[in-house]
Amino acid sequence: MKAVHTELHRSHDPQFFLVRGVVKRTTEQPERADRLLKGLKDGKHQLVEPITFGQGPRARIHSPEYLSFLSEAWDAWTALGDSGPEMIGNIHPVRHAATYPTHIVGRLGWHSADTAAPIGAGTWAAACAATDVAVTAAQMVMDGEDATYALCRPPGHHAYRDMAGGFCFLNNSAIAAAHLRQRHERVVILDVDVHHGNGTQGIFYARPDVYTVSIHADPVAYYPYVWGYAHERGEGPGLGTNLNIPLAIGTGDDGYIQAMDVARKAIESFAPGALVIALGLDASEHDPLKGLAVTTPGFRRIGQAIAKMGLPTVFVQEGGYLSDILGANLTSVLAGFEEAR
Ligand code: ZN
């Protein structure tokens, strides 16, 4: 399996992370990509540089005002004169009968779901590079590859059409799915990140053509808390094309594989033409965010289960934080896929 990667992610190096009232350094660091890259090299995957697709694929998913905000944000922020080293909102409007603001502090709040997506000088460039990585991987599958992997950083699955959050700015998995939709009438996104893919769910919630499935730690006790429950099934023409499979905190390999079986049956009945895997590796037993307890051999079984769905597949990197086995878990899931194909 070929893997798409660029060093351009490095310009995004956020620092601020607010956890239960305590300010920490974020877990979404550039070193993540170094460890994932080592996992790709250990798995002997051929590395490919992304093609620059530009704004078109991003504009299929994100609103014009949101893309303008992200591209202009840093310059407007530094022009304030008394602003901090990263952009973090201090208003979080709930938008009832609200007016879209013109001031950068207002726009920052409008376009943020939480404080976990600080914007720095190089955030926009890195986020754009990540969408090019995802779209390149999708294009390679449309051009005949059976499966590809996209090393995207920053991740994307918490980003909505017009709202950042949870380390995410542009929804790489959603953008890859929209690119595949040019070829396939129905596409599935299966999100195996430990966190519910709330942005992805929100983007496609009313659409019948993209089936969103997420297996994640139960939001009753885990981020994002207010999305990711089993009763969220889509709305309007999209009713029935969203499936959430929350798992009890601490669930291990066997419970996870059972959930994969439920997901596989649902996906088969949708009869899609292609599959995007929102590949979080933070369900690992050793991940610092401790939600689920999947082992390295367990990730191999997850890769095998994905392969058995028999669909052209684009793996898009989502979460997965610094641990000694982050790279090994990537090697494992991709090896499992390849051996079961
Ligand atoms: Zn995650």
Domain parsing of the chain, residue ranges: 2-54+122-340
Q: How far is the CA of 232 from the centre of ligand 1 (A)?
A: 19
- The catalytically annotated residue of 157, 158, 195, 196 is 158
Whether the Cβ atoms of residue 174 and residue 262 lie closer than 8 Å to each other: no
pTM of the predicted protein model: 0.98
Distance CA 322, CA 338 (A): 25
For the segment 72-77, the average pLDDT, to the nearest whole number, is 98
Whether the Cβ atoms of residue 103 and residue 150 lie closer than 8 Å to each other: no
Q: How far is the CA of 209 from the centre of ligand 1 (A)?
A: 25
Strand partners, 243: 213
pLDDT value, residue 307:
98
Is residue 231 among the annotated active site residues? no
pLDDT band for position 97 (50/70/90)?
Answer: confident
Q: How far is the CA of 46 from the centre of ligand 1 (A)?
A: 26
CATH 3.40.800.20 for domain 2-54+122-340, yes or no, is: yes
pLDDT band for position 127 (50/70/90)?
Answer: very high
pLDDT value, residue 94:
82
In the numeric block, which tokens belong to residue 267? 């996906």
Give counts: helices (H), strands (E), the chain.
10, 10
pLDDT tens for 163-201 read 999 999 999 999 999 999 999 999 999 999 999 999 999
Amino acid identity, residue 154? P
Q: In residues, how long is the chain?
A: 341
Q: How far is the CA of 194 from the centre of ligand 1 (A)?
A: 5
Q: Of 223, 216, 226, 224, give the one whose Cα is nearest residue 247.
A: 216
pLDDT tens for 222-270 read 999 999 999 999 999 999 999 999 999 999 999 999 999 999 999 999 9
User: What average pLDDT does the chain have?
Assistant: 97
pLDDT tens for 101-111 read 999 999 999 99
H or E stretch including 327? Answer: helix 326-340
Alpha-carbon separation of residue 112 from 104, 239, 289 (angstroms):
12, 26, 21
pLDDT band for position 92 (50/70/90)?
Answer: confident
In the numeric block, which tokens belong to residue 243? 């499936």
pLDDT at 279 over 90: yes
Rg (CA), the chain: 18
Q: How far is the CA of 101 from the centre of ligand 1 (A)?
A: 30
pLDDT band for position 93 (50/70/90)?
Answer: confident
Q: Of 176, 173, 179, give the one whose Cα is nearest residue 280.
A: 173
Distance CA 294, CA 211 (A): 25
For the segment 58-78, the average pLDDT, to the nearest whole number, is 98
Amino acid identity, residue 331? T
Q: Using CA atoms of 289, 220, 92, 282 in order, give the dihedral in degrees to the nearest 10.
A: 20
In the numeric block, which tokens belong to residue 82? 């008394």
Buried b (16+ CB within 10 A) or exposed e, 57-84: bbeebbeeebbebbeebbebbeeeeeee
Distance CA 158, CA 171 (A): 7
Q: CA torsion sign, 150 to 151 to 154 to 159?
A: positive
H or E stretch including 247? Answer: strand 242-247
Distance CA 30, CA 140 (A): 25
pLDDT tens for 25-63 read 999 999 999 999 999 999 999 999 999 999 999 999 999
List strands edge to edge, sheet with 210-217. 47-48, 2-4, 147-150, 313-317, 274-279, 187-191, 210-217, 242-247
